[in-house]
Amino acid sequence: MGQTQQLQRRLGTFDATAIGLGSMLGAGVFVAFAPAAALAGNLLVLSVVIAGVVAYCNAVASAALAAKYPTSGGTYVYGRKQLGEWPGFVAGWGFVTGKTASCAAMALTFGSYVAPDYAAQVAVGAVVALTGVNLLGITRTALLTRILLCFVLATLVFVAVAAALGPHPAAVLSGAGSGGPAGVLPAAGLMFFAFAGYARIATLGEEVKDPTRSIPRAILAALAAAFAIYLLLALLLQAHLGNRLATARTPLLDAVLGSQLAAGAPLVQAGAAAACLGALLALITGVGRTTLAMARERDLPGPLGTVGGTHTVPFVAELAVAAVVVLLLLTTDVMTVVGFSSFGVLVYYAVANASAYTLDAHPGYAPRWLNAAGFLGCVVLAFTLPPAPVLTMAAVLAAGVAGRWLVLRFRQHQPGR
């Protein structure tokens, strides 16, 4: 009985938007700019624009699909419904594996800002604490996300003011990095990592009130806000850090330290910590819900589909995700997983665009040609990423496909089937 119990609709449009924006800001602002600048150099802003355009195509496809299928699981469910079991599985497996690695990246980034000498230990503590919050129910998750998001936005305003008031370093004259035109698309692929947070809104479809209206509005609002913030930050960071942006571990903090408001550096550190916590909270929630959906369809072990407890949450999936993230924290490097996650999420959204393309009715904001453009954009960005994450994620996807094939073959040969 516990495996078929439904989640409850408790989130409004504002809550859903906050969860999506909170996860995007945590990932993008404090992780993706430096490696993207190293690839694109002075053309970083162009990479941000390309990533934003592809993200928009994906967002409208996700919005149209989520409005039709307002249930947990996101593109895993959409792919199964519109394209078949195998495309749905590839999308779900890419999301779960890529975003589980992203959880570890966010936790390690949090640990690095709070206590650099004990980053892994602090990261484990953050994962345990936030999993506890999720187990208290989705309304607690949304409340904490709103609080963290307000703090992060205040921090970003401070960074922008500090950069505007501060002196321009001499490095600005020599550009933002050693990259160039050939690095624009790979950099856009890395920057796409920063836009992927709106997926969390779709994965929470079973818990959003009036999903046909609320989900599309929340997805588009979160994406528009994130795009404006990223574009502004890319311009400011290029202007004030120049070549140093490509190698900066904490670019926003470096921008403040070189300004007239350097005394406010602790605020930036605290804001970075809050952003990472917000992103980690939303990531754990989204991965848990997709795991739940895959377990319901027997693409993952059945017990992961258990929903229950006082607050009606998928507690087995939440605990399993937390356990895997804690394991990854012992071996994962913050920067190397950005490309890994980007590839997995781009595959996920390629399936989303293909699924949306096959819808019988298309809302005005999601025409079929935009779905085709989104699919092509995802494929191009995925395969222009640096080779190492492409090969690694391709191997992970292949292992998942092979594992599912073996399980299906085993089930076919069981007596009575």
| Ordered DSSP codes for 300-359 | S-GGGG--BTTTTB-HHHHHHHHHHHHHHHTT--TTHHHHHHHHHHHHHHHHHHHHHHT-
Indicate whether 69 pLDDT > 50.
yes
User: Tokens 């690695």 map to which residue?
Assistant: 101
Indicate whether 244 pLDDT > 70.
yes
Q: Tokens at residue 406, please? A: 């073996």
Residue 164 maps to a domain: yes
- Do 241 and 252 touch, CB atoms closer than 8 A? no
Q: Which of 85, 134, 136, 104 is nearest to 294 (CA)?
A: 85
Q: Which of 141, 158, 143, 392 is nearest to 280 (CA)?
A: 141
pLDDT tens digits for range 350-404:
999 999 999 998 888 789 999 999 999 999 999 999 888 889 889 999 999 998 9
What is the share, in percent, of the chain residues with pLDDT greater than 90?
A: 23
> From the CB of residue 403, how many other CB atoms can be counted at a distance below 10 Å?
12
User: Tokens 């298309």 map to which residue?
Assistant: 362
CA 7-72-399 angle, to 5 degrees, is: 130
Indicate whether 2 pLDDT > 50.
no
Residue 407 maps to a domain: no
Note the pLDDT of residue 47: 96
pTM of structure: 0.80
Note the pLDDT of residue 366: 82
Rounded to 10°, the helix 75-82/85-114 angle is 170
- What is the SS3 assignment for 250? coil
Residue 411 maps to a domain: no
User: Tokens 């096959």 map to which residue?
Assistant: 358
What one-character DSSP code corresponds to residue 204? B
pLDDT tens digits for range 312-335:
667 788 788 888 888 888 777 766
When pLDDT is averaged across residues 51-69 and rounded to a whole number, the result is 88
Residue 179 maps to a domain: yes
User: Tokens 């895959």 map to which residue?
Assistant: 294
Amino acid at 1: M
Run of H or E including 51: helix 44-68
Rounded to 10°, the helix 336-357/85-114 angle is 150
How many angstroms separate the CA atoms of 25 and 256, rounded?
18
What one-character DSSP code corresponds to residue 9? -
- Do 382 and 339 touch, CB atoms closer than 8 A? no
Q: Which of 175, 155, 161 is nearest to 43 (CA)?
A: 175
- Do 178 and 246 touch, CB atoms closer than 8 A? yes
Out of 9-23, 75-89, 202-216, pick the least confident.
202-216
Q: Tokens at residue 71, please? A: 């249930």
Note the pLDDT of residue 364: 82
Indicate whether 416 pLDDT > 70.
no
Average pLDDT, the chain: 82
Residue 31 maps to a domain: yes
> From the CB of residue 103, how many other CB atoms can be counted at a distance below 10 Å?
31
Note the pLDDT of residue 210: 73
Q: What pLDDT band is residue 53 in, cutting at 50, 70 and 90?
A: very high
Rounded to 10°, the helix 44-68/33-40 angle is 130
Residue 413 maps to a domain: no
> The domain that contains 318 carries what CATH number?
1.20.1740.10
Q: What is the dihedral of CA 394, 120, 153, 49, to 10 degrees?
A: -20
Q: Which residues pair with 72 in a beta bridge?
A: 204
How many angstroms separate the CA atoms of 382 and 33, rounded?
18
Report, in angstroms and rounded to the nearest whole number, the Rg of the chain calculated over CA atoms.
Answer: 20
When pLDDT is averaged across residues 269-285 and rounded to a whole number, the result is 81
Q: Tokens at residue 117, please? A: 């000498």
Helices (H) and strands (E) in the chain, counts: 16, 0
Q: Which of 260, 311, 253 is nearest to 114 (CA)?
A: 253
Note the pLDDT of residue 246: 86
Indicate whether 140 pLDDT > 50.
yes
> From the CB of residue 4, how many other CB atoms can be counted at a distance below 10 Å?
9
> From the CB of residue 391, how many other CB atoms can be counted at a distance below 10 Å?
11
Residue 415 maps to a domain: no
Out of 96-100, 196-200, 224-228, 262-266, pick the least confident.
196-200
Q: Which residues pair with 313 in a beta bridge?
A: 308
Instruction: Give the count of domains, the chain.
Output: 1
Residue 408 maps to a domain: no
pLDDT tens digits for range 174-216:
444 556 788 999 999 989 988 877 666 766 666 777 777 777 7
When pLDDT is averaged across residues 141-148 and rounded to a whole number, the result is 72
When pLDDT is averaged across residues 107-120 and rounded to a whole number, the result is 82
Residue 82 vs residues 59, 206, 337: alpha-carbon distances, Å:
17, 18, 30
Indicate whether 230 pLDDT > 50.
yes
Name the residue range of residue 287's domain: 2-402
